[in-house]
Amino acid sequence: MTNSEVKLLGAWSSPFVMRARIALNIKSVSYEFLEETFQPKSQLLLHSNPIYKKVPVLIRQDKPICESLFIVQYADDVWSSGPSILPSEPYDRAIARFWATYLDDKWYPTLKSVRGAKGEDERKRLIIEVEEGLALLEDAFNKTSRGKDFFGGNEIGYLDIAFGCFLGWLRVTESLIGVKLLDQVKTPCLVKWAERFCAHGAVKDVMPQTEQLVEFAKMLMAKMSASTPK
């Protein structure tokens, strides 16, 4: 499907932007990707998302849609091409949204905190929290997938996108701290799911390379360290 009126304002390194890109790919929607540099923030971004001033922003027919999970749902509602992203059953839909909210509000902020932990004790505590969250998600996968390849069943769904977008930064964290968080012994189903997710046609071309993300993370950490008062 070709739709020249669809634009996505984002950044290559953002897991939240990746959500929108995966959803559009699943729906076979052609779009123009506009890389936001943030130096300074573009007028298009400030105009399109004046409340939060952040990416992603999907622009269709000059109308902006903000926030990654809202964009995923919008894409599912607007384009009938490709498989459905959100579960059709109200209960399954509610459960998928619950876990997506958990990822955004609790699990991913904890993962980010691991990289900037002050001292070894704090880092160990945060690592334990991340691993406990992965154990919960392993259980959620076993329940929601019903023995199939993805949280959404046979195809990538809402929760797959919500969680899978963080896999690149999970690998970055593992690389920087030298600890395997997604573990074959503790979370074997998630390990296999992650391999399938990253190899999927809607994902593989928008998932950043780990090495590239690691260098980007080191640059961000250096900037933060330089700006922190001594």
The CATH architecture assigned to 6-78 reads 3-Layer(aba) Sandwich (3.40)
Q: What is the DSSP letter of 191?
A: H
> pTM here?
0.95
Residue 3: predicted pLDDT: 46
Mean per-residue pLDDT over the chain, rounded: 95
Taking the mean position of all CA atoms in its chain, how far away is CA 101? 12
Q: How many CA within 13 A on the CB side of residue 112?
A: 12
Q: Sorting pLDDT into bands at 50, 70 and 90, what band is 149?
A: very high
* Neighbouring-strand partners of residue 60: 6, 63
Torsion sign over Cα 26, 27, 30, 35: negative
**Cα(29)–Cα(6) distance, integer angstroms:** 8
C-beta of residue 45 within 8 angstroms of C-beta of residue 36: yes
Q: Which residue has the tokens 């690691």?
A: 214
Q: What is the pLDDT of residues 88-145, one digit of tens each?
A: 999 999 999 999 999 999 999 999 999 889 899 999 999 999 999 999 999 999 999 9
**Residue position matching structure tokens 């699990």:** 107
pLDDT at 150 over 80: yes
Q: Is there a contact between 190 and 143 (Cβ–Cβ < 8 Å)? A: no
At 222, is the pLDDT very low, low, confident or very high (cuts 50, 70, 90)? confident
From the options 3.40.50.1260, 1.20.1050.10, 3.40.47.10, 3.40.50.10860, give the CATH code of 90-213. 1.20.1050.10
pLDDT at 162: 98
- Confidence category of residue 2, pLDDT binned at 50, 70, 90: very low
Is the alpha carbon torsion for 131, 135, 136, 140 positive or negative? Answer: positive
Quick one: what percent of the chain has pLDDT higher than 90?
90
pLDDT of residue 230: 57
Of the candidates 166, 165, 172, the residue with the CA atom closest to the CA atom of residue 211: 172
Q: Which residue has the tokens 């926030």?
A: 67
Give me the phi and psi of 57, to 5 degrees please.
-135, 125
| Better pLDDT: 225 or 132 | 132
Residue ranges of the chain assigned to CATH 1.20.1050.10:
90-213
Residues of each domain in the chain carrying CATH 3.40.30.10: 6-78
